[in-house]
Amino acid sequence: MVRALYPGSFDPVTFGHLDLVERALRLFDSVTVAAAENIAKQPVFTLAERLELLRAVLPARVQVVTFRGLVVDYCRAHGFDVIVRGLRTMSDFEYEYQMALTNRHLNPAVETVFVMPNLQFSYVSSSLIKDVVRNGGDVSTYLPPPVEKALRAKLSS
């Protein structure tokens, strides 16, 4: 059984993230989404809020967890074989390629698999969506309704 971990900040979780999860579910026996507790970033949503939103919009067969530290260490400790990463642009590739090679050096037993999103999500980022919401724009094609509602509430306060 091949177990895959899809790590990220998911601040907020978008239809692009959900698209990658659906693609990963077709490739692997088990997919777990892991929200990073990254003190270097200043997320809009707390870790608990991100976990709640992920659970609200992901298929029931996808487990949602949180992690801190190196993703390869989490994979080793919890028996994951694959790290799933999305590639939207060439700049994503450069960063993700470096990360994948570093992870391979740190834990050769874990493979990184890059998945390309549906074309309609290839330019969408959580940062861009937050900017659009801050400026009153429509993000309904990028966010599940509960996530959009929560993001608007957060950014309007």
Please tell me the distance from the alpha carbon of residue 33 to that of residue 10, in angstroms, as a whole number: 9
Task: Give catalytic status of residue 126 as yes or no.
Answer: yes
Name the active-site residue from 26, 41, 61, 105: 41
Backbone angles phi, psi at 34, to 5 degrees: -120, 115
Q: Of 3, 9, 76, 88, which is the active-site residue?
A: 88
Residue 61 annotated as catalytic = no
Candidates 17, 23, 50, 85; catalytic one: 17
- Give which of 20, 12, 16 is closest to 4, Cα–Cα: 20
Burial per residue of 130-152, b for 16 or more beta-carbon CB atoms within 10 angstroms, e otherwise: bebbeeeeebeebbbeebbebbe
From the candidates 23, 85, 126, 130, which is the catalytic residue?
Answer: 126
Q: Which residues are catalytic?
A: 17, 41, 88, 126
